[in-house]
Structure 1
Amino acid sequence: MSFGHGGPFDGPGGSGTPDWDALAQESEAAARRKRWMLIGGSALAAVAVAGIVTAAVVTSNDSGGGNPTASPTGSGATQAPEPRPSFSDVSVPPPPNPQDYISDPEKDRAPLTPATLFPDKTMANGARTYSRTNTATTKDCTAAAQGALGSLLSHNGCSQLLRATYSKGGVSVTVGVAVFDSPAQAAKVRDQYKGNLAPLSGGGVPASFCVGTGCVTTANAVGRYAYFTIAGNDDGKRVESTKSKAGQIGRDGGFYAFHRIQQRGKDQAAKAAAAQSQ
């Protein structure tokens, strides 16, 4: 049963350096095509599409006039034009693009562990906060997936799947981030998404969390990463609406995953920019 569109993945100008975070979130909002679904056990899933971030820096040229000419003075003498300032021909390289660092494995070299990808003990979206209860990672991506998702991850070259669970007020969400060699592979998994991310219990979240009951799931991609959520009630009751508390924590989990992947790109781009300036 399909529900309405949500907005967890909407993910201002400056002095010549683009605000990549704002551009990424604006592009995410403009290009998204989301679909939420309730699942029974591990039967159904949802697809949400994230746009690839692009940005352009627009400059303008001064066309206000030609070269100055000599003009007569009051005594009839000719006054020479004032010299214009000269500038060096040395060009300044553009700032590194964070999107490049989450799209190219040759550049995306920062450590990738649950501690680096999910470093915060609390997941926050506005005034809503949730406690992190558990994390896990595996290079066998099929081990952290249910149903057709495992095969889809394997056939598209998933090299690692990292998960974290957050919980509050009787609802929990497991966030999963799958790593690929290219954005095309991640996008293919997003577009063909079937099955479910395997829920991660522990730390107060019961083993029955999203097992054999109706939970809500999402799938999306940015750069060479596909990211997923599965959210539901801790007491095992079926989620009846994406407008419920479980639906909200699912949306917040998706936004958090997008933000953390984008932050990974920004951190590496900032490090490269600092090296350029030395």
Structure 2
Amino acid sequence: MSFGQGGPAWGPGGSGTPDWDALAANAAADRARRRRWLMIGGGALATAAVAAVVAVAVVAESGGRGDDSPSALPSPATIPPSPDQPEPTFNTKAPPPPPNPYEFISDPKKDTAPLTVKSLFPDKKIEPGGREYTRRATDSTKNCDAAAVGDLSAFLTANKCREVHRATYTGDGMLITLGVAVFDSVEVAKKVGDEAPTSIAPLPGEGVPVFCRSFACRAGSNSHGRYAYFTIAGYLNGKDTTAEDTRTRAAVQDIGGYAYQRIEQRGKDQALAAATAPPE
């Protein structure tokens, strides 16, 4: 009697004794079958593992190749060395100092800006010393002796006066004429300003009557650069000026100070123009 596949086999004669040879053969066959499946299964696992590695490699090679991927950047070893760059340089030379305004009002070769009553006396109303004065009549002439009275006429001519510019102002019940005379040098202008024997001629016109001819007035003179300037002040009502009169003294100082400032500004304007002019 025999059982199905895998069951015990009995020996011949049915003695109840197992057929040990048959059992051994069956066991050997079972072991052979298991070893074959294990080998096949191991091969399949190995094949799957290799496929997985290949798949990972393919993904690594095919994925993330855009320009923003780190894998697209060259390694430092492959970057060619950059050429030597020149060191930045700086100009350490100090700029030249700006021109001195006084040089322009002292030297005829530099003092070339237009010179008119408008450039010298541009303001209709001025407030030197905190007092208000209004410009009235103006005049320019190259006949210097005609712009002066008394001995000053000959004095201007003798020192080679080039031109005289005058303006008359009114304020605080007074009339004041300012005159600016032009010379070739600082030395001559200073001499005229210090030693002027008489006064600039009062300038009437534009509603201003003749003044300082029939009554006493206060006069003054000074210089700045190659310019000498003169002032003469008197009362509109014809009142005589005395040595103790503080109002006419203040007016002479106010208008004389304004003349100084205008000459100074002339030098500053020319110095600034020279400093900002493009190089030739």
Instruction: Name the TM tier (shorter chain).
Output: 0.5 to 0.7
Residue 192 of structure 2 corresponds to which residue in structure 1? Answer: 189
Aligned to 2:221: 219
Give the distance between the partners of 1:252 and 1:108, measured in 2 at CA: 25
Distance in 2 between residues matched to 1:220 and 1:229, nearest whole Å: 9
Match of 1:65 in 2: none
Q: Which has the higher contact order (CA 8 A, sep 6+)?
A: 1
- Structure 2 residue aligned with 1:118: 121
Question: Could you tell me the percent identity over the aligned residues?
Answer: 49
Quote the residue 1:261 is aligned against.
263
- The within-5 A match list for 1:67-146 is 88-146=91-149
Query: Which runs of 5 or more structure 2 residues have no equivalent in the other structure?
Result: 1-87
* Aligned counterpart for 1:273 among listed residues 265, 272, 275: 275
Query: What TM-score results when the alignment is normalised by the length of structure 2?
Result: 0.65
> What is the identity, as a one-letter code, of the residue corresponding to 2:109?
E
Cα distance in 2 for residues equivalent to 1:199 and 1:169: 17
Contact 1:216 1:242 survives alignment (8 Å): no
Of structures 1 and 2, the larger Rg is shown by 2
By how many angstroms is 1:97 displaced? 0.6
Q: 1:277 to 1:94 in 2, by over 3 A?
A: farther
1:5-47 Cα shifts (integer Å, max 9, x gaps): xxxxxxxxxxxxxxxxxxxxxxxxxxxxxxxxxxxxxxxxxxx
Question: Who is 2:202 aligned against?
Answer: 199
Cα deviation 1:109-141 (Å, max 9, x = unaligned): 110000111110012214311100110011000
Q: 1:242 to 1:164 in 2, by over 3 A?
A: farther
Decide whether the 8 Å contact of 1:172 with 1:246 is kept in 2.
no
Looking at structure 2, the residues matched to 97 and 174 of structure 1 have their Cα atoms a distance apart, in angstroms, of 30
Q: 1:86, CA displacement in angstroms?
A: 7.9
Q: CA deviation at 1:163?
A: 0.4
Q: TM-score, normalised by structure 1?
A: 0.66
Amino acid of the residue matched to residue 215 of structure 2? T
Bigger fraction of residues in helix: 2
Taking the aligned partners of 1:272 and 1:200, their CA distance within structure 2 comes to 35
Taking the aligned partners of 2:244 and 2:226, their CA distance within structure 1 comes to: 28
Q: Secondary structure at the residue paired with 1:260?
A: helix
Quote the offset at 1:188 in angstroms. Answer: 1.2
Q: What is the letter of the counterpart of residue 147 of structure 2? A: A
Give the alignment partner of residue 148 of structure 1, picking from 126, 147, 151.
151
What code does the residue aligned with 2:268 have?
K
Size of the aligned set, in residue pairs, is: 193
Moved more, 210-219 or 136-145: 210-219
Cα distance, 1:212 vs. partner? 2.6
Distance apart, 1:276 and its partner CA: 5.5
Corresponding position of 2:81: none
**1:170 is aligned to 2:185:** no
1:119 is matched by which residue type in structure 2?
P
Q: Where does structure 1 lack aligned partners over 5 or more consecutive residues?
A: 1-84
Give the alignment's Cα RMSD to 1 decimal. 1.8
How far apart, in 2, do the equivalents of 1:247 and 1:221 lie?
18
SS of 1:132 mapped into structure 2 = strand
State how far apart, in whole Å, the 2-side matches of 1:135 and 1:234 are. 18
**CA 1:242/1:107 → structure 2, altered by over 3 Å: closer, same or farther?**
farther
For residue 242 of structure 1, report the CA deviation from its aligned partner: 5.3
Deviation of 1:250 after TM superposition, in Å, equals 1.3
Q: Distance in 2 between matches of 1:235 and 1:167?
A: 12
> Which residue is equivalent to 2:232?
230
Q: Does the CA contact (< 8 Å) of 2:129 and 2:254 recur in 1?
A: no
Partner of 1:75: none
TM superposition shift of 1:91: 3.6
